[in-house]
A and B are shown apart, each in its own frame.
Chain A
Amino acid sequence: MQFMLLFSRQGKLRLQKWYVPLSDKEKKKITRELVQTVLARKPKMCSFLEWRDLKIVYKRYASLYFCCAIEDQDNELITLEIIHRYVELLDKYFGSVCELDIIFNFEKAYFILDEFLLGGEVQETSKKNVLKAIEQADLLQEKTETMYHSKIFIGFKKAY
């Protein structure tokens, strides 16, 4: 996979994961053009389109478009499964995920994606394992935060 974009029906970007090195300017241009192209598609059209020299696989879930750019030899149908699996992971994590969850917790959306795909390839095919990994990272974060704050609290208790 070369990149994955999540955007709303109004064309607002909610997540961008690039697996190829491109300049900021190029990324903006690609995003703008692709968003326009996908939003122009009618509801009954198929999920695949050819754009520049890439294959684009997209699927709409409620108000969000999930859009992946894959290479010529990649399997479009399995990419649909990749997208669906990611949505399932988000759903499990947030509990009936909606666009607002992804807006207000965008870093979490990235963390989850990074446990599912690595370098543009699928790294873990077990939903359970992915969610477990996120859970462990969240736990570690909580633990270190408690420790950290207890340390600094001692130091700064007069400041606030």
Chain B
Amino acid sequence: MVAPSLKLQDLIEEIRGAKTQAQEREVIQKECAHIRASFRDGDPVHRHRQLAKLLYVHMLGYPAHFGQMECLKLIASSRFTDKRVGYLGAMLLLDERHDAHLLITNSIKNDLSQGIQPVQGLALCTLSTMGSAEMCRDLAPEVEKLLLQPSPYVRKKAILTAVHMIRKVPELSSVFLPPCVHLLHERHHGILLGTITLIMELCERSPAALRHFRKVVPQLVHILRTLVTTGYSTEHSISGVSDPFLQVQILRLLRILGRNHEESSETMNDLLAQVATNTDTSRNAGNAVLFETVLTIMDIHSAAGLRVLAVNILGRFLLNSDRNIRYVALTSLLRLVQSDHSAVQRHRPTVVDCLQETDASLSRRALELSLALVNSSNVRAMMQELQAFLESCPPDLRADCASGILLAAERFAPTKRWHIDTILHVLTTAGTHVRDDAVANLTQLIGGAQELHAYSVHRLYNALAEDISQQPLVQVAAWCIGEYGDLLLEGNCEEIEPLQVDEEEVLALLEKVLQSHMSLPATRGYALTALMKLSTRLQGDNNRIRQVVSIYRSCLDVELQQRAVEYDTLFRKYDHMRAAILEKMPLVERDGPQADEEAKESKEAAQLSEAAPAPTEPQASQLLDLLDLLDGASGDAQHPPPLDPSPGGALVYLLDLPCAPLPPAPIPDLKVFEREGVQLNLSFIRPPENPALLLITITATNSSEGDVTNFICQAAVPKSLQLQLQAPSGNTVPARGGLPITQLFRILNPNKAPLRLKLRLTYNHFHQSVQEIFEVNNLPVESWQ
């Protein structure tokens, strides 16, 4: 026996009565089984109810694909109830991805032509919601016919269906373009609205259509004017504004038509001014119209006065108590700030006030707009506001605010000192949020402002003493103290209160940074180098510094360890060079190496000093010249020296060799072969200008009584090396010390792979042919390192 099926509302109640997710699932699965059975049985009476239930569970997220075919059956039924649910099902369950969707095309066609308005309405609605391109092509003629039907109910739907069809099949524009102009003369608001939407769609797809429709601008102006000036009409008004939906749509179309077209723009000017001044702004509806008007004014060729009016409206919006209005105002002003900068500037105070918004999306926009409004005349005032904002702003805006401030400071800083102060303030307030190059920029800035060295180092010292957690600040401060420690200790700087700092305090502070677990490895590097530099800047003895450096020789961090070892060596073996190496840095070019690299350069200098056997003073200045070559190089020298022979790379090679400017020490010759008076010697040359190149000259001598003839020497090297043999000087070595044969081998070894050499000698001696193959042992290391 078939139980009577549940009514929709009863099912909904049962589902809502389920206490747990599992229970709900159970109820639904049971019901779906019933529904499936019912579909299989093909019960026409209750099919619509079954589908409705299915649509409900579909909304809850459960699968409903087995209802797709039922939608088709319901749509094809003559019963209105069936059609209503069937079409709804089609819109919810079918779309262009399912092949089944095409099957409703025929039903739609029938329904469109049978003349019952609610049915036609359903068909058009479904077509415009889920109609695929094929369906649209098939049904375009039907829809076109309906555009001319007398009933406004059907016509307005047909027009919007045409909009959808054009979106799916742009070629259909030619079908739906002709009726448009005529439709604009209708009085029915729904038809007008649809027509305007249709015209917008056509214009956006075709420049020809755009030109064609420019002629309706006067008609549009007329319609809008009538709307605005006619009295209150209850049917279409919202809060005293006549049909704001229609007004907004007309304004949008006017915008499209007036854009880049002088004549059309002129036709609209008066009307736009009228709408802008007469619209009631007490409620959202009026503001919506006003907003659209502003957008249109800004986008067409409007009179200057009108543009100013528009910007002022936006300025007024900024003061509106409605948060939404302020939001659209900020967004629009941001779009206008480039093109109408001076007009927007007038509202700067209001914009700055908006920084205090509690809604994050508003304060973000206010921030962007404020940054865009900074110029050379208002920079000091604006920076003050923005820095105050930085202190209290929500964390997700901090990074943007910090970088914005730094960028603006860079562009508009009135004085260097102001600039340094600003960056300092940003680093203390939001140090963790600044970009990586802020440190480099600041050190470069300070380095270049000689008159401010004392001021900077004092301020940085004070900041550091208060807080060692903000890494960028600590890094800059450490660098500064290292460079200008002597100025710090002198104590007098007119711009700040005199501060008595003694050496022990400074050293203690740097040590604190070095030991702090908050310090990043890079920061520690800065601190260690700074300590080292202070060894030449301070008057007292360097025992404390030496001690610290010594301790870090066994630090687990490889970078610190390396530095410490080098600095320690500097103390122990090359103390006479220390002052020169740790001299104040020369001023760097803006695009030159970053300050970080300068720190590394001084480290490289220390490296060189280790290798150099007998360095002298002139060498130090030559070293500084060599350092200029690093302008082109990138990357840090902490990695193993770069392997390619780029200028920077060559420089590093040179630094590895003892005394690059001096000729390289000669490599001793090597005797590789001797047999019955025939000897083979190798001599090596490493030309300084090409470190990858090794020139080997083999010399074959003969001290025996017999001549050596047909002498051929062949060589082989490992695959990573390249070998080139030049022609030998000859192939005979006369007896008793006759003229030797020499031959040049060119070996390219860019990767500095260990050199191995295999030689094969063939010659005639004492009427015997001799063949020797051997590998050369004891090749000097200098030949390939």
**Residues of A with Cβ closer than 8 Å to B?**
12-19, 21-23, 28, 44-50, 73, 75-78, 80-82, 85, 103-104, 106-107, 110-111, 114-115, 118-119, 121-129, 133, 136-137, 140-141, 144-145, 148, 152, 160
Contact = CB atoms under 8 A, between A and B. Distances in A.
Given A118-B161, A123-B193, 17 more contacts: A15-B59, A45-B323, A48-B328, A77-B284, A81-B285, A107-B85, A118-B125, A119-B129, A119-B163, A125-B190, A126-B189, A136-B117, A136-B118, A137-B121, A140-B80, A145-B79, A160-B4
Given A28-B61, A137-B118, A46 B190 contact: no
A137 B116 CA distance: 11
30 contacts: A15-B59, A16-B92, A21-B96, A21-B97, A21-B130, A44-B323, A45-B323, A46-B323, A46-B359, A48-B327, A75-B295, A77-B325, A80-B288, A80-B324, A104-B12, A111-B84, A119-B160, A119-B161, A121-B163, A122-B245, A123-B156, A124-B156, A124-B190, A125-B236, A125-B246, A127-B235, A129-B153, A140-B118, A141-B84, A148-B81
Contacts of B326: 46
B248 A75 contact: yes
Nearest to B327: A46
A111 B197 CA distance: 22
A16 B55 CA distance: 11
Contacts of B291: 75, 77
A85 B245 CA distance: 11
Contacts of B690: none
A126 B235 contact: yes
B124 interface: yes
Interface string B741-772: 00000000000000000000000000000000
A25 B676 CA distance: 89
Contacts, number: 161
Interface residues of B, number: 71
Contacts of B252: 73, 75
Given A119-B128, A133-B121, A141 B80 contact: yes
A49 B194 CA distance: 28
B158 to A, nearest CB: 10
B431 interface: no
Scoring A106, A115, A119, A122 by chain B CB atoms within 10 A of each residue's CB, the highest score goes to A119
B161 A80 contact: no
B59 A16 contact: yes
A118 B235 contact: no
Contacts of B292: 75, 78
B95 interface: yes
A141 B119 CA distance: 11
Contacts of B164: 119
Contacts of A133: 118, 121, 153
A44 B363 CA distance: 13
Contacts of A145: 79, 81
B9 interface: yes
B416 to A, nearest CB: 39
Scoring A111, A123, A136 by chain B CB atoms within 10 A of each residue's CB, the highest score goes to A123
A152 B81 CA distance: 15
Contacts of B130: 21
B487 to A, nearest CB: 50
B69 interface: no
B293 to A, nearest CB: 11
A144 B163 CA distance: 32
A77 B295 CA distance: 13
A4 B323 CA distance: 22
Nearest to B197: A121
A84 B81 CA distance: 29
Contacts of B362: 46
B284 A45 contact: no
A12 B80 CA distance: 30
A107 B52 contact: yes
Scoring A50, A125, A137, A145 by chain B CB atoms within 10 A of each residue's CB, the highest score goes to A125
Contacts of A14: 59
Given A46-B324, A77-B288, A106-B59, A128 B235 contact: yes
B778 interface: no
B55 A107 contact: yes
Given A104-B9, A107-B52, A107-B88, A13 B60 contact: yes
A136 B324 CA distance: 37
Ranked nearest first, the 8 interchain pairs of A and B with the lowest CB-CB distance are: A77-B288, A119-B128, A119-B164, A78-B288, A46-B323, A118-B160, A144-B80, A137-B118
A39 to B, nearest CB: 16
Contacts of B325: 77
Contacts of A73: 252
Given A23-B97, A78-B244, A111-B84, A47 B238 contact: no
A45 B326 CA distance: 12
A123 B80 contact: no
B500 interface: no
Contacts of B95: 21-22
A152 to B, nearest CB: 6
B114 interface: no
A73 B200 CA distance: 12
Scoring A28, A48, A78, A103 by chain B CB atoms within 10 A of each residue's CB, the highest score goes to A78
B213 interface: no
Contacts of A21: 95-97, 130, 132
Contacts of A152: 45
A44 B359 CA distance: 7
B459 to A, nearest CB: 40
Given A21-B96, A80-B284, A81-B244, A126 B84 contact: no
Contacts of B97: 21, 23
A107 B82 CA distance: 12
B724 interface: no
Given A44-B359, A119-B129, A125 B324 contact: no
Contacts of B128: 118-119
Scoring A44, A85, A129 by chain B CB atoms within 10 A of each residue's CB, the highest score goes to A129
A19 B84 CA distance: 19
Contacts of B16: 103
A79 to B, nearest CB: 9
A115 to B, nearest CB: 8
A125 B189 contact: yes
B358 interface: yes
A141 to B, nearest CB: 5
Contact of B245 (A49, A110, A125): A125
A114 B80 CA distance: 16
B56 interface: yes
A134 to B, nearest CB: 10
Nearest to A114: B125
A116 B244 CA distance: 15
Contacts of B60: 12-13
B361 interface: yes
A103 to B, nearest CB: 6
Contacts of B124: 118
B243 interface: yes
B287 interface: yes
Contacts of A115: 121
